[in-house]
Amino acid sequence: MKKLLLATLALPLLAGCATSPTGRSQLMLISPESAIVESKKAYLTTVNQLDQQNKLVDDPKVMDRVATITGRLVYVAKQQYPNTSNWEWSVAIIDDPKTVNAWCMAGGRMAVYTGLLDKLKLTDDEFAQVMGHEISHALANHTAERMSRAMATTLGVVAVGVASDHHGAAMLGAAAAAKVALELPNSRTAESEADAIGMRLATQAGYEPDAAVTLWQKMGKAGGSAPPEFLSTHPAPGNRQAALQAMIPEMRQLNPSGTMAPVAPVQIVR
């Protein structure tokens, strides 16, 4: 019986494979559709809490800037990834001047902290690179991939528990894995993938690809000995700036004239 159960637990690991936009093989035990459903639940809970704490920015100037820049990126994303046309694209602007961070969940639900804009004094081009990077995580199904990693860990814990008759320990591990699934950091490979896809999105939306390099220079200088939250969840290898710099000539060929893309509708959460 134990051997049968172990074999059953291993089946999803063998079958759960997908391919990212860059051609990378991904472990997928959770479907992208399921990741979108779970992300929506988490997002709505977070937004409701922020609203109750009066942490959602309603400054028209800031809202317009975020909606315009993000809307151009979303327009390009919809053109290249038609399956995202029905996503509920939205951005919560969080009033937190100390936090330098932004994120995008599966399904196009995003957030940006005022500390990112104010502390780093981001240009429009640099902000486009941040949001392009974050949107790329959603386009490449990185949320589903992180959740799948958590599930793979859970299956391992359950298998060990069954094999040793420690059912209570197995269930506790499964519950813990489920709780942190949406909070796991992306892998370094996923971050590099988002760098490349994000720079492409921003360039095609009309923003300068050079800004990807100046953005990370600012990130590296921010916070002194205490790195920004953005860097704590976005591991940056020493050669990241060099890799981005090397991609600039190719990116410029995508939009030589720097033509601005139309602005797609993006809801600013209030």
User: From CA 222, how far away is CA 216, in angstroms rounded?
Assistant: 10
Residues contacting 37, CB < 8 A, separation 6+: none
Cα distances (angstroms) measured from residue 138 to each of 74, 104, 106, 250: 11, 6, 5, 23
Here the tokens at position 187 are: 């892998």
User: From CA 27, how far away is CA 32, in angstroms rounded?
Assistant: 12
One of 126, 134, 191, 193 is an active-site residue; which one?
Answer: 134
Half-sphere exposure of 85 (CA within 13 A, CB side): 5
User: From CA 9, how far away is CA 3, in angstroms rounded?
Assistant: 10
> How much of the chain is in helix, strand and coil states, percent to nearest 5?
65, 10, 30
Q: Which of 199, 72, 76 is nearest to 133 (CA)?
A: 199
Task: Identify whether 134 is a catalytic site residue.
Answer: yes
DSSP type of residue 213: H
109-113 vs 102-104, strand pairing mode: antiparallel
86: amino acid identity, one letter: N
Catalytic residues: 134
